[in-house]
Amino acid sequence: MSEYLDLAVDLVLKAGRMIKEMSKQRHTITYKGEVDLVTEADLKSESLITEGIKKLFPDHNILAEESGLLQHESDYVWIIDPLDGTTNYAHGFPLYGISIALEYKGEVIVGVVYDPSLDELFTAEKGKGAFLNGSPIRVSGITTLNESLLATGFPYFYRERPEYILKYFRAFSVRAQGVRRAGAATIDLTGLACGRFDGYWEVGLKPWDMAAGGLIATEAGAKITKFNGDTFDIRVPEMLASNGLIHDEMLEIIKSIEEN
């Protein structure tokens, strides 16, 4: 493992153990938006991770969900989601994760996601494959959308534009074997990486939602694009991901939706 992956693994495990222990307590909840929650666990996890990075790499940039961008003159950017699935966490629903990625000159080179509830650690380095608790993982071999289990999420602007979100949900629901909405993009992407899901789509995403999970899924053999099939970009708020075998079918559905 590289020193960057070593650090990301160390920090994500420490943060995961901390927020799992904190899950037994009553939470202090604040709101960034009508349905966009922040708990004390988000803030403590982010502080633990960012301080750990600053200690070893003080000149690196850090982009974190709660504190924003810490800018230095560096080609490296650490991208952090200290608690993905905060709404689940706040309600005691044990499906959430911590995500750390490292970007170098615009390319994500390290991705780590930890699910404390299942004690599952997903890791990837660019060009070196993807792993779950140290064992290699691959995407599924499902070849048709009809046989596929898909994942998606609803953005925080869902209440303002429900028809826009639901038209995608409806179209995929009637074509796939099933659709799951877990409430944590990182868990959806790692699920795709290890074959639990066959495809995933979502809008309204942020870089910290996609960076680590996207690299892990890609290194496991996934295909990831924008909704129009163009090259994926973590700074464009949409993602279409699949095992590669059903990608064209998913693209066709999105195209038909956007033409109507």
pLDDT band at 37 (very low <50, low <70, confident <90, very high): low
Looking at per-residue pLDDT, the higher value among 58 and 22 belongs to 58
Task: Quote the number of domains for the chain.
Answer: 2
Could you tell me whether strands 76-84 and 68-70 are parallel, antiparallel, or unpaired per DSSP bridges? unpaired
Q: What is the mean pLDDT of residues 203-220?
A: 97
| Separation of alpha carbons 14 and 31, rounded Å | 25
Q: Residue 195 sits in a domain of what CATH number?
A: 3.40.190.80
Are residues 227 and 176 located together in one domain of the fold?
yes
User: DSSP labels for 64-113?
Assistant: ETTTEEE--S-SEEEEEEEEETHHHHHTT----EEEEEEEETTEEEEEEE
Give the single-character DSSP code of 146: G
Are residues 85 and 128 located together in one domain of the fold?
yes
- Residue 62 half-sphere exposure, CB side, CA atoms within 13 Å? 24
Is the pLDDT confidence value at 177 over 70? Answer: yes
Task: Render pLDDT for 82-134 as a digit per residue (tens, 0 to 9).
Answer: 999 999 999 999 999 999 999 999 999 999 999 999 999 999 999 999 999 99
Q: Single out the residue in 87, 105, 136 at which a domain terminates.
A: 136
Are residues 10 and 120 located together in one domain of the fold?
yes
Are residues 78 and 176 located together in one domain of the fold?
no
Is the pLDDT confidence value at 32 over 70? Answer: no
Are residues 12 and 124 located together in one domain of the fold?
yes
Residue 26, domain extent? 3-136
Are residues 48 and 76 located together in one domain of the fold?
yes
What is the pLDDT at residue 47?
Answer: 95
Is the pLDDT confidence value at 34 over 70? Answer: no
What is the pLDDT at residue 108?
Answer: 98
Are residues 210 and 116 located together in one domain of the fold?
no
Over pLDDT 90: what percentage of the chain? 83
Strand (E) or helix (H) holding 168: helix 162-173
Are residues 149 and 243 located together in one domain of the fold?
yes
Q: What is the mean pLDDT of residues 242-249?
A: 98
Evaluate whether 85 touches 208 at the Cβ level (below 8 Å).
no
The candidate with the shortest Cα–Cα distance to 220, out of 196, 184, 248, is 196
Task: Render pLDDT for 58-87 as a digit per residue (tens, 0 to 9).
Answer: 999 999 998 899 898 899 999 999 999 999
Are residues 88 and 30 located together in one domain of the fold?
yes
What is the pLDDT at residue 38?
Answer: 78
What is the pLDDT at residue 33?
Answer: 58
Are residues 185 and 229 located together in one domain of the fold?
yes
- Least confident range of 89-98, 154-163, 169-178: 154-163
Q: What is the mean pLDDT of residues 238-243?
A: 98
Q: What is the mean pLDDT of residues 252-256?
A: 95
Give the single-character DSSP code of 147: G
What is the pLDDT at residue 258?
Answer: 81
Looking at per-residue pLDDT, the higher value among 23 and 30 belongs to 23
| Separation of alpha carbons 192 and 121, rounded Å | 14
Q: Please state, rounded to an integer, the average pLDDT across all residues of the chain.
A: 94
What is the pLDDT at residue 160?
Answer: 84
Tokens encoding 252: 């066709």
What is the pLDDT at residue 29?
Answer: 67
pLDDT band at 157 (very low <50, low <70, confident <90, very high): confident
